[in-house]
Structure 1
Amino acid sequence: MKNIIIAFRSLFKKGRHNIMKIVSLGVGLAVGLVLIAKVYFEQSYDSFYPDADRIFQIWECVERDGELKDWGRTSGGTAGLMKESIPEIEMATRINPYGTWTFTMTDTQLKYKGKTVFGDSCLFEMLPRPILLGNAKEVLSTPMQVMISSRMAKKIGGNVVGKTFVADDAPGRVLTIGGVFEEIPENASDRYDVIISMPSSPQFMRAESHTNLFGNDRYISYIKLYTKASVPTVLEGMLKIVYKHFSPEEQAKQGYKFSYTLHAISDIHKDDAQVKRMAWLLSLLAFALLFTAMMNYILIVISGIVSRSKEVAVHKCYGAAGKNINGMMLGEAFVHMILSLVLAAILIFAFRGTVEELLGASLEALLLSKGSLILLLVCGLIFLGSGLMPGYLYARIPVASAFRNFRENKRVWKLALLFVQFIAAGFLFTMLIFIGRQYNYMVNDNPGYEYENLAYSELAGVDSTARRKAVDELMRLPEVAAVTTCYQLPFAVSSGNNITLPGSDREYFNIADQYSVGNGYLKIMGIPVIQGRSFTENITNSNEVMVDRRFVEKMKLLAGWTDDVIGKAILVTEHGGDELTGQRSPFTICGVYENFRLGSIASQDERPTVMFYSKTPSYNLLVKFHNLDARGMEHVQKEISALFPNNDITLNAFRTEIKDMYDESRQFRDSVLIGGCITLLIALIGLIGYTNDEVNRRRKEIAVRRVSGAEVMEIIKLFLRDIIRIALPAVILGGCFAFFAVQKWMEQFTEKVPLAWYIFIGCGAAVLLVILSVVCLNVHHTANDNPVNSLKNE
């Protein structure tokens, strides 16, 4: 306690540079601890559920032509069938995600948005949340009743139980709020605000959707195993069920193998390749930042060893042993650590919005969790490192230094600390440049369609007559070049269907189905037709289909197509079916269009695509502007709002959606930017402290050289020589580390910028230039000083 009191009293003592130490350490802690909290948060997904280690998701797995793909969805009846057939399964449930819906309250006509799913009556038995109002099991067993989250209930206000609303996407279907559950935590893979009872499904989709065993694979199925159940045994039971309903011979006949895999819910998120990669890189960034901050603190403390040598020697004269000196330095480190943490907390909460936006989670979720124990452990390690190493060096100061001047000529340890900081600065700066280049490449890349002057609105819940009217009305606006509709947007997740040929049972491959498009769709999107022609338009029933280049190449490989594909007939599941006979009608290929990107570069869907024509306007309205600007968007939005006064329909620019797809990359880029700038700043603070110490130690030597005729540049070169010996290899080493880290990060992208050698050299040269400039500026003042001022006290 005495050492802590002394440390507090010495906070503003001249020559200690305590403010500099606290600020540099506090800023480093602010960013480093947030990054560590983010890594822990990503690793903790779904672990809050009781018995999470016994809860698994069922994934479908398909092997076709040697290619194995699994998919985190199943058919509606899968979970229930597994529970009935496999004794090791304690319980089963499923949800049917339906995206974010807009709801209109029937009493107030106010609108609210919430992520919506259909859920079983036993959902909260498998994935429990505190039930605040109502009987969840009863509500989710009753048609057209829903449970809502506490977050949504708070927005609606009052006693929400018994209130009714209508989903804008499903007009005429009145839903009644039957209960409220506590909001699902942020570290949940599946978060939802509205749970519609599963018996309500027939009112919104095909009646058999929630009970069929194959097809319509949109359900997330969960099972919970008994404590001593074996996962391999359960998988074996699942395979038997598959063979019972779909024999190996039948699978072979259709050209693929079908099975299921199990994934523990607490492992799904953290085992994702992109999450693993991001966690690894953020951990590396946090380590580099915190280690640099600690090294800088130690460097500044040790740089004062000359000025504090008499103080330490006097302590030894009065009987202080090595452990007492260590205690004194630990006391200082403790006080500085506490103040640095206070500063870090102030910075984090002052920039709360920026932190939450960058890391995609609230501060409460990041810091007020079990992860806080890890943060305390990290702080403890930094405290010990910051106190023990300086304590060891200070304890070696001889007692004789109390009676004569003490000169510390060994600078190896100081240069070693700077070496580490320069490595971190070079590493982060180089990473930042390449991450920034990749991000700019992605948001400005050509995805195979023209989107600069394109906008869209979702018209789900609007009848076809109103959609047709909207197309006609918007075409009259002077800003608008063309209008059409489509079922599937290219950056959205595409549903899959399978391709067969007439007279054959073999399913060749799965396609990303674009479903129906309207008049002039390919022209508006700027997608070229490379073979054949576009659709015959304005006909009620079309049997034409268009396919992309990938489709043709795959059929040539698998079906032996060698000639012109125009005019060939194909069968596509879910299309052309006859409800009476169950037979499907073939579609004729009328044209081939160039490949375009589905999804983003970070998560690209590389399946072939097909599209069909429909005279009836589909659910997505596409508006092409002559020149898209804010005024034009506002005018068209007003027109849409006037056409649909009872619907919350928003016009969205394609350009904005494209940028939003790369939010994670932008957030990571900004994290590296902040971390890199702070690391470089901390390193420069340490460099300034080192050069100041060296200048003071060699002040009389500089004066003698000046009297002897040495130029200012010659004096500066003395210091530059020492720094460049460590800065050059450190920056090179940092660039090498950055090369491997950037390579790892870019594995997630299907297209990437080249890792050009000259950019690595340029990054290293830039960091080196900053380091040497700081040294020059710091030494220049002393070198220009009157040498008499330095020699008059000799």
Structure 2
Amino acid sequence: MLQNYLKIAWRSLWKNRLFSMVNLVGLALGLTASLLILEYVSFEKSFNTFHPQLPSLYRILMKDQAGTTQGSSAPGIILRTDFPEIKGYCRLAEGISNGIITVANQTFREEHSAYADASLFELFHFPLLSGSAQELKKPLTVALSAHQARTLFGSTDVVGKSLSLANQFGKLEYAVVAVYENMPENSDLQVDLVLSLATLQNPTIVASNSWVDPTGVGAQFLTTYVRLAPQSTVSHVEAKFNALLKTLPTGATDEIRLQAVSFQHLGSSLNDSYPTYGNLGFVYIMTGIALLILLIAWFNYVNLSTALSTKRSKEVGVRKVIGAHRNQLITQFLGESMILNLTALLLALVLVDLLQIPFNLLIKKNLSLSILLHSAFGLYGLLFFIAGSVLSGAYTAFILSSINPILSLKGGFLKSGRAWLRQSLVVFQFSISIALIAATFIVYHQLHYMQRKNLGMNLQQLLVMQGPEVGRDDSLFQDRAVGFRNAVSQLAFVSSFSNTGNVPGNGFNFSTENVLRTDQTTAGAHTSYKVLICDDQYFKTYDIALATGRAFTKGETEKPWRNVAQVVLNEAAVARLSATPTSILGKTISFNGQAVEVIGVVKNYHHLGLKEVIQPIVFWPQQNTTYFTAQISTDQLQKHLSQIQTLYERFFPGNPFSFHFADEQFNYQYQTEQQYSELFTLAAGLSIFIACLGLLGLAAFSAEQRTKEIGIRKVLGASVVQLSAMLSKDFVRLVLIALLLAVPLVWLAMERWLEQFAYHVSVQWWIFAGAGLLTLTIALLTVGYQSIRTALINPVKSLKSE
């Protein structure tokens, strides 16, 4: 019996080859897109789930008086608590430890290191391959990942060996006390060197860097994780923390919040205000796109199957007359659906294998189908596929199996009343396509706006070099830094040169609330100022215009920190001080208790891009060597880079020459929007292609049903254009209805998406007109091809009797 069902199913699919191919291609493409996207969703949802103690792990956040919750905390408070609710804690400082590693006269620039407590390996599941994490309680010790151990020493058997690390705290020797497995890719913590946090308690380091004392409540460069005891509630622990914090002078205006580590990657919801590493909205959008594309493919199957039901009504009638039961017919038609879907799934698996590498490059992840085997989403996806396959075939199966055999044999079923369903599904399909096309236009428009808008500064032809770390503690370091600056500035292709503590697009040096006018005694609400350390050439090099006053002189940037007497502000900082550029010029203000004169005000510029509002900035004059920026001509670029590298290595031996171009690095922050644009473009193209496949099938069926009518009209003098218009007008009407349905939904959704940008484009009517016109054109070409092909048939052939 089963073999007979399979034979009949295969014969039916082969007999209607065009419709079967349309369904197969559409389903295969839809499943391919869905599988690839499901890999990404599974990966994002898997972050940090491998930690056994995950349910009890929390990250301490700090909410300031402006209402902003940040990933920094007042970690010193943890040392002042005796809470039974806390079973363990770990303090972690990322970013400040990066520098140059030296091993056996070889140097490596390290950018994935952190100072941390030994308890890092107790709270989190990063298995040790050798050594003891407890040794990290001692200063000047380090644990290496297996990858880093092989990079530095060529082996993982390195416990007992030593390495030299030169960073902002000087050049120190560290003993390797442990080697741990590489941190998984789905871990928010990605550290290759774990340095002992006790190292920073060295009196020599603290003396020259007072901010770095990890025991102080003001050490906000640290992130603290805690493990709560069973039965402890987050609200209770937060209340106890905040009660203690208010007794300390530096924490009176802030509040502590606890964020579950299980939510620190994507957040608990779209409205979660806590900082995250990932983007939950992006995950939802990707999931939605996958489901919509797959639905379009299944709707094609339903559309074409219901259309073909009129052709198969006599077959069903004959089978019923000779004794076939309804359940047998349902089984047969469902079997045809499952065969088609399973074939499409096998084809999709082949396509996924072929497209995996390009997809990974697009989303910058290392994914494969294997991730679905270890994820609940793999099971959910399988269940959804089975349900979709059954439901898409069930409608046709139950409709066909309910045919009255006498009526069908008389031809009464040939005029199907199911056209409304097919039309509704076509409208739904093209609504999705138009929505994705319009969303693509808007995302691209916003991306183009952010990349092309006048930022108030120039980033073109700016070579940014990371400053040296090796040799910073040498007494001759400043002489070498000055020598390098002078040597580069004298190169014919260099028009300006600046050294700074940070650069646009990367951030600031630090923030402070203690900026006051002389007639103020305390800072008002929302008075956070960003501080950027720069030299006398910064504004010239980055072409930042002055609103009034002047820039620093070279002599002003060479004074020790405590002797600085002049600062420059931006317009936002002046406004925050309730002043105007002209009124504040020449006035004295207090900066962290230090009296300084405002000698200039620069016009506002977008230091951090257009996602955020322009922050109030205090420019502090110093000859900082964290970054060097040279404005160079780009002709003979490799030759020029080689010349600068030679000078860099001459003045700073032992330091790798690392550089990037300012505009490329600045635009890198828009990579998520770039991914949106590319993914929406692919999704929109795929959705409209699948929808048009179905439209092609329906147009072919419609033309086949009206063959005799077309023959008669041609005999009576109808032209090819008239016949094509007649066959196309119904489909055009459906696309126009789809446009009307898609516009308000996309408009509202994209308006909400644009709100996340402080500076953004507005949604314009022409975007939807363009999306509709593009969709309509593609649909017309699809239907028009089939219509013209049918209209050209010789009427003699059309009018022949069956």
Q: 1:367 aligns with which of 364, 367, 372?
A: 372
Residue 513 (structure 2) pairs with residue 498 (structure 1): yes
Unaligned runs of 5+ in 2: 473-477
Alpha-carbon offset, residue 401 of structure 1: 7.5
Provide, for residues 36-62 of structure 1, a one-character-per-residue CA deviation record: whole Å limited to 9, x for no partner: 443444344333322323211111122
- Letter of the 1:166 counterpart: S
Q: 2:386 aligns with which of 380, 384, 391?
A: 380
Alpha-carbon offset, residue 488 of structure 1: 1.3
Partner Cα distance (1:100, 1:702) in 2: 79
Alpha-carbon offset, residue 356 of structure 1: 1.8
Residue aligning to 2:747: 739
Residue 532 (structure 2) pairs with residue 536 (structure 1): no
Residue aligning to 2:238: 235
Cα contact 1:731–1:768 (8 A) shared by 2: no
Residue aligning to 2:145: 149
Cα contact 2:699–2:786 (8 A) shared by 1: yes
Is the alpha carbon distance of 1:306 and 1:270 closer, same or farther for their aligned partners in structure 2, counting shifts above 3 Å?
same
Alpha-carbon offset, residue 430 of structure 1: 0.8
Residue aligning to 2:568: 546
Cα contact 1:79–1:222 (8 A) shared by 2: no
Q: Secondary structure at the match of 1:648?
A: coil
Residue aligning to 2:29: 27
Cα contact 2:310–2:416 (8 A) shared by 1: no
Provide, for residues 411-467 of structure 1, a one-character-per-residue CA deviation record: whole Å limited to 9, x for no partner: 222222211111111111111111111111112222221111212011140543333
Q: 1:778 aligns with which of 786, 793, 799?
A: 786
Residue aligning to 1:527: 544
Residue aligning to 1:507: 523
Cα contact 1:72–1:220 (8 A) shared by 2: yes
- Letter of the 1:472 counterpart: N
- Letter of the 2:57 counterpart: I
Alpha-carbon offset, residue 692 of structure 1: 0.4
Residue aligning to 1:670: 678
Is the alpha carbon distance of 1:104 and 1:87 closer, same or farther for their aligned partners in structure 2, counting shifts above 3 Å?
closer
Correspondence list, 1:629-648, <5 A:
630-631=637-638, 634-636=641-643, 638-639=645-646, 642-643=649-650, 644=652, 646-648=654-656
Alpha-carbon offset, residue 189 of structure 1: 2.6
Cα contact 2:513–2:529 (8 A) shared by 1: no
Residue aligning to 2:206: 206
Cα contact 2:527–2:576 (8 A) shared by 1: no
Partner Cα distance (1:428, 1:193) in 2: 41
Provide, for residues 293-352 of structure 1, a one-character-per-residue CA deviation record: whole Å limited to 9, x for no partner: 111122233333344344433433343333222222222222222222222222222222
Q: Indicate the percent of aligned positions where both proteins have the same amino acid.
A: 22
Residue aligning to 1:268: 264
Is the alpha carbon distance of 1:386 and 1:150 closer, same or farther for their aligned partners in structure 2, counting shifts above 3 Å?
farther
Residue 226 (structure 2) pairs with residue 223 (structure 1): yes
Provide, for residues 195-241 of structure 1, a one-character-per-residue CA deviation record: whole Å limited to 9, x for no partner: 11112224695377343333231111111111111222212211221
Is the alpha carbon distance of 1:247 and 1:438 closer, same or farther for their aligned partners in structure 2, counting shifts above 3 Å?
closer
Alpha-carbon offset, residue 479 of structure 1: 2.0
Residue aligning to 2:475: none
Partner Cα distance (1:725, 1:675) in 2: 24
Is the alpha carbon distance of 1:636 and 1:735 closer, same or farther for their aligned partners in structure 2, counting shifts above 3 Å?
farther
Q: Secondary structure at the match of 2:343?
A: helix
Task: Provide the aligned C-alpha RMSD in A.
Answer: 2.8
Q: Secondary structure at the match of 1:117?
A: strand
Provide, for residues 92-133 of structure 1, a one-character-per-residue CA deviation record: whole Å limited to 9, x for no partner: 111111268465451372636451111111112111222222
Q: 1:94 aligns with which of 84, 91, 94?
A: 91
Partner Cα distance (1:362, 1:473) in 2: 43
Residue 320 (structure 2) pairs with residue 316 (structure 1): yes
Provide, for residues 718-737 of structure 1, a one-character-per-residue CA deviation record: whole Å limited to 9, x for no partner: 22221122211112212222
Alpha-carbon offset, residue 774 of structure 1: 1.6
Alpha-carbon offset, residue 288 of structure 1: 1.9
Q: Secondary structure at the match of 1:669?
A: helix
Cα contact 1:288–1:424 (8 A) shared by 2: yes
Partner Cα distance (2:333, 2:150) in 1: 52
Alpha-carbon offset, residue 770 of structure 1: 1.7
Partner Cα distance (2:581, 2:634) in 1: 43
Q: Secondary structure at the match of 1:538?
A: helix
- Letter of the 1:493 counterpart: G
Q: Secondary structure at the match of 2:601?
A: strand
State the TM-score, normalizing by the size of structure 1: 0.90
Q: 2:350 aligns with which of 339, 346, 360?
A: 346
Q: Secondary structure at the match of 1:56?
A: strand
Partner Cα distance (1:626, 1:695) in 2: 64
Q: 2:254 aligns with which of 251, 258, 269?
A: 258
Bigger shift: 182-191 or 703-712? 182-191
Q: Secondary structure at the match of 1:217?
A: coil
Correspondence list, 1:677-688, <5 A:
677-688=685-696
Partner Cα distance (2:57, 2:744) in 1: 43
Bigger shift: 480-489 or 140-149? 140-149
Aligned length: 766
Is the alpha carbon distance of 1:335 and 1:588 closer, same or farther for their aligned partners in structure 2, counting shifts above 3 Å?
same
Alpha-carbon offset, residue 746 of structure 1: 1.2
Is the alpha carbon distance of 1:789 and 1:503 closer, same or farther for their aligned partners in structure 2, counting shifts above 3 Å?
closer
Partner Cα distance (2:96, 2:21) in 1: 51
Residue aligning to 2:760: 752
Correspondence list, 1:48-197, <5 A:
48-63=50-65, 67-81=66-80, 84-98=81-95, 101=98, 104=101, 106-107=103-104, 109=106, 111=108, 113-138=110-135, 140-156=136-152, 157-162=154-159, 163-167=161-165, 169=167, 172-197=171-196
Q: Secondary structure at the match of 2:95?
A: strand
- Letter of the 1:224 counterpart: R
Residue aligning to 1:618: 625
- Letter of the 2:453 counterpart: D
Q: Secondary structure at the match of 2:247?
A: helix
Alpha-carbon offset, residue 698 of structure 1: 0.8
- Letter of the 2:25 counterpart: V
Q: List 4+ stretches of structure 1 deviating above 6 A.
A: none
Q: Secondary structure at the match of 1:596?
A: coil
Partner Cα distance (1:650, 1:471) in 2: 16
Residue aligning to 2:728: 720
Partner Cα distance (1:760, 1:455) in 2: 41
Alpha-carbon offset, residue 630 of structure 1: 4.2
Partner Cα distance (1:3, 1:266) in 2: 53
Provide, for residues 689-723 of structure 1, a one-character-per-residue CA deviation record: whole Å limited to 9, x for no partner: 00000111111110011111111122122222211
Q: Secondary structure at the match of 2:137?
A: coil
Partner Cα distance (1:103, 1:312) in 2: 78
Residue aligning to 2:336: 332
- Letter of the 2:365 counterpart: A
Partner Cα distance (1:6, 1:608) in 2: 75
- Letter of the 1:24 counterpart: G
Cα contact 1:235–1:261 (8 A) shared by 2: yes
Partner Cα distance (2:250, 2:696) in 1: 75
Is the alpha carbon distance of 1:229 and 1:60 closer, same or farther for their aligned partners in structure 2, counting shifts above 3 Å?
same
Unaligned runs of 5+ in 1: 252-256, 574-583
Partner Cα distance (1:632, 1:572) in 2: 44
Is the alpha carbon distance of 1:645 and 1:9 closer, same or farther for their aligned partners in structure 2, counting shifts above 3 Å?
farther
Bigger shift: 93-102 or 341-350? 93-102
Provide, for residues 236-265 of structure 1, a one-character-per-residue CA deviation record: whole Å limited to 9, x for no partner: 2112211222399xx4xxxxx222111111
Partner Cα distance (2:599, 2:257) in 1: 39
Residue aligning to 2:584: 565
Q: Secondary structure at the match of 2:590?
A: strand
Residue aligning to 2:490: 476
Partner Cα distance (1:62, 1:781) in 2: 69
Partner Cα distance (1:740, 1:34) in 2: 28
Residue 583 (structure 2) pairs with residue 597 (structure 1): no
Q: 2:456 aligns with which of 448, 454, 460?
A: 448
Is the alpha carbon distance of 1:349 and 1:640 closer, same or farther for their aligned partners in structure 2, counting shifts above 3 Å?
farther
Cα contact 2:36–2:356 (8 A) shared by 1: no
Is the alpha carbon distance of 1:640 and 1:782 closer, same or farther for their aligned partners in structure 2, counting shifts above 3 Å?
farther
Partner Cα distance (1:516, 1:484) in 2: 11
Q: Secondary structure at the match of 2:171?
A: coil
Partner Cα distance (1:38, 1:99) in 2: 31
